[in-house]
Chains A and B, each alone.
Chain A
Amino acid sequence: MVSDALPGYFDQFGWRYERRHPGEFLTGFSGDHGAWDIVVRVSDLVVTFTIAPYVDRPADAAPGPALLHTLLRANHDLNLAKLGLDREHDVCLSVEMPADGFGYSQFSDALMAIAHYADELKERFDAAVVADAEDLAARQGGL
């Protein structure tokens, strides 16, 4: 069972964690540009590492074109990790691995990737949120 092996992987990696459910773990880290919680979920098929929401944006505004472009262009640059929009239209950063064959090597790759990109992409996404807000304000001002 992958979920039973995860506590040992966290210990080996040197990160603290909280086991919230049998197949769900919470961990977190602080980078140069912020601090994030990471949820690790284990299903029969996939092990998923997720930061959600990854980007702070106005709750009353739909994701704008700058944010969507930044997200989809960043997906071209990222290895292993991906960005998406969840049901609440929040930006999520995640890494997914097949549960079949999942071991410490995959665990380590996934945590390093999500932590690296969370920190690296933060300024790019902050700029996109500002650009969308300015664009929206300009269009509302022009009405």
Chain B
Amino acid sequence: MTAESTSTSPAEIARFFRRYGWTFDQLDDDTFRTSFRGKNAAFVALVRVTEHWVVFTINPFVKGPDAGFGPVALKLLAVANQQASLVKLGLDDDGDAFINVELPTEGFGYGQFSAALTALTHAADGLLVPILQAVVVDDRNVA
């Protein structure tokens, strides 16, 4: 382990944001909000520090259609999990698609912070358009 790889704290997350060069708002003791613009859209991401995990989340990543995601979109989301390194995609309680990165608080250092934020932003920007296209295809198949 590197010297900086000790258990992290919200204060450290704030330092990591500054070192990464991104602005952020601290919403409460444990939660940070940041935003970025990709090639196709702007995204808002939350970073939450719990006792055991540091979680980077974009939710909703894609709002679920009223009738729920169809088979093409569901399959794309499932496949994307295996192709996108470090990130996880899924459906929340409202049926919206989320994308996140979770890492243990123990041993969390700037290397993990940078890897997590880079993976999240890369995957979000790269997957948004294909997922929206899949939603349209599902819509056409139902019509």
Which A residues are closer than 8 A to B by beta carbons? 45-46, 63, 65, 68-69, 71-76, 78-80, 82-86, 89, 92, 94, 96-98, 100-101, 103, 105-106, 109
Contact = CB atoms under 8 A, between A and B. Distances in A.
A101 B5 contact: yes
Interface stretch (B28-36, B38-46, B83-91, B120-128): B83-91
Contact of A75 (B5, B79, B81): B81
Interface string B102-143: 111011110110011000000000000000000000000000
B92 interface: yes
Contacts of B1: 101, 103, 105
Contact of A96 (B77, B86, B97): B86
B78 A45 contact: no
| Majority SS at the chain A contact face | mixed
A50 B79 CA distance: 15
B93 to A, nearest CB: 7
Contacts of A76: 90-93, 98
A96 B116 CA distance: 11
Contact of A101 (B2, B74, B93, B97): B2
B98 A85 contact: no
B18 interface: no
25 contacts: A46-B86, A63-B75, A68-B71, A71-B78, A72-B77, A72-B91, A74-B90, A76-B90, A76-B91, A79-B102, A80-B103, A80-B104, A84-B81, A86-B82, A89-B79, A96-B86, A97-B103, A98-B103, A100-B2, A100-B115, A101-B4, A101-B5, A101-B109, A103-B1, A105-B104
B80 interface: yes
A84 B53 contact: no
Contacts of A74: 90
Given A68-B71, A76-B98, A103-B1, A85 B79 contact: yes
Interface of B: 1-2, 4-5, 52-53, 71, 74-75, 77-83, 85-86, 88-93, 97-98, 102-104, 106-109, 111-112, 115-116
Contacts of A103: 1, 5, 107
Contacts of A92: 82
Given A63-B75, A68-B75, A85-B81, A73 B91 contact: yes
A94 B85 CA distance: 11
Nearest to B91: A72
A106 B78 contact: no
B71 A84 contact: no
A69 B77 CA distance: 10
Nearest to B82: A84
